[in-house]
Structure 1
Amino acid sequence: MEEREILTNQVLFIAVVILSNIVQVLTGFAGTMLAMPASMQLIGINEAKAVLNAGSIILVTTVAIQNYKYINKKEATKITVLMLLGMGVGVYLLQIMPTGILLNIYAYFVIFISLKKMFIKNELHLSNLIMILIVFLAGIVHGMFVSGGSLLVIYAVTALKDKDEFRATLAVIWAILSSILFTTHIQQGFFTPEVWTLTLITTFTVFLSVKIGNKLHDKINQQTFLKIVYVLLFLSGLLLIL
């Protein structure tokens, strides 16, 4: 790849990061998920995973600190523990099971839930046990595919009723999970000098994304917020299939 093409791809990647980070700040999820497909094509799979995750840590930590008073600490603790337990199971399953079929099942399930939320107003009341199981499954999926956020949101939109509480609580959870993933990426050797440089550059764009995302978040009401969340859920399912 020529030097000019590499530079162009890196500039495009930074633009993708800014846009996806704005979405992450606005809703509390989906930033990395939306950025990953284009980022993998622009700078490579492992490089994209490393840079996006590292930038996410700074982004979600900033959101969590700014919105500390809205964090549901009880839910944040419960979700984090269940997700971590599930991630351990997911990492193990990834080593012993074919993943293609499982990923497609997960993707179609997310699409089904998002369409139901958008077009069917009757709420399905699930037991506490099933809701806990959903979070645990989100951890398993996250351990296998680093894409458990979509399943977690299915639980979060029920447990966290207010848009500020939703965003702040998820920000804390992602800060913890992304930090764990960051150490794993270092151990796997993803952080070459080029990746560290790109990470540093994208870090400077985080604060721009936070400013824009916060302004958009303040302007939308609860119903609009939920509609955006459900649309992002639907897009996440499509991206998983593709």
Structure 2
Amino acid sequence: MSDPFLFLCYVSILFASNVLGAVGGFGAGMISIPFLTQLFDAKAVIMASTMTCILNLFIAVKNWRYVDLKRLTRILLYMCIGLPIGVYGLKMIDVDALKRLLGGFMLVIGGYGILKLRIPRAAGKHLPAWALRGCLIAGGIVQGAISSGGSLVLLYAQQELEEKNGFRATMALLWTVVSLITVFQYMLMGTLNRESLRLFAAGVIPVLSGIFVGGRLCRRLSQRSFAYVINILILSAGMISLCR
């Protein structure tokens, strides 16, 4: 990356997105990618972003005692049911329509989450277990098709992992595992290139710095403020998805 201005933009975007991502345990990639793809090759950015997501392992390790392994295993199990359906169904899926549908769904999830915080009666409403399992399978399908199944997983996580430390730690470990699997697939397919590796190398320090700062900020947040941050992140991701 020879252009100093581009390098400064790159590290600044990564740092800011990972501060926000570290607060919630997710979301750094969905915030940074729309901006970075305007500056660099989209495929290289996506692969580099997937590799930097592995660094979320630091959040999980530091907060290991809060990781809910039972629910993490359940999420991975049901997602793995849907993943191959998404991968093989990609040829028949209208990707743009699916992204718009997903963006609208995220707006509904985020809006409903904020509504529950504002109206106490709504907070007691929960989806049945079969619907949550369906969300995880659907999340696997969407993840396999367009690598954007996180919003459906978050619908499950918001209901089953309400405490902020457990939510952050479990989500960070989940996306670490998902990113490792995805990078392994890149390696098998031979799609990793020098540009993506250069972007990854340049992003390690700003990502780790963002994770550190975000962790410090999260400790200052109350449970209610944390819930607001999560739902605002979901709303932002939905708007970004629709705009793209």
Q: TM-score, normalised by structure 2?
A: 0.92
Aligned length: 238
Q: Which moved more, 1:178-187 or 1:74-83?
A: 178-187
Are the aligned partners of 2:12 and 2:206 in contact in 1 as well (CA < 8 Å)? Answer: no
Matches within 5 A, 1:47-196: 47-58=44-55, 60-120=56-116, 121=119, 122-123=122-123, 124-196=125-197
For 1:240 and 1:11, how far apart are their aligned partners in 2? Answer: 25
What secondary structure, in the 3-state scheme, does the structure 1 residue paired with 2:39 have? helix
Q: Distance in 2 between the 1:116 and 1:199 partners?
A: 36
Structure 2 residue matching 1:144: 3-state secondary structure: helix
Q: Identify the match of residue 41 of structure 2 among 27, 41, 44.
A: 44
Shift of 1:189: 4.0
Query: Contact (CA 8 Å) 2:57, 2:176: kept in 1 or not?
Result: yes
| Residue of structure 2 equivalent to 1:22 | 19
Q: Find the counterpart in structure 1 of residue 8 from structure 2.
A: 11
Task: Confirm or deny: 8 A CA contact 1:51 1:199 kept in the other structure.
Answer: yes
**Alpha-carbon contact 1:150-1:233 (below 8 Å) kept:** yes
Runs (5+) with no aligned partner, structure 1: none
> Letter of the aligned partner of 1:93 in structure 2?
G
Q: Kindly indicate whether the alpha-carbon contact (under 8 Å) linking 2:20 and 2:214 is maintained by their aligned counterparts in 1.
A: yes
Question: After the TM superposition, which residues 197-208 of structure 1 pair with which residues of structure 2 at under 5 Å, given as runs?
Answer: 197-208=198-209
Q: Distance in 2 between matches of 1:61 and 1:224?
A: 24
- Gaps spanning 5+ residues in structure 2: where? none
| 1:143-176 superposed Cα distances (whole Å, 9 cap, x missing partner) | 1121111221111011002100000011111111
Q: 2:223 matched to 1:226?
A: no
Distance 1:98 1:27 in 2: 30
| Structure 2 residue 213 is the aligned partner of structure 1 residue 212 | yes
What's the CA shift for 1:87?
1.7
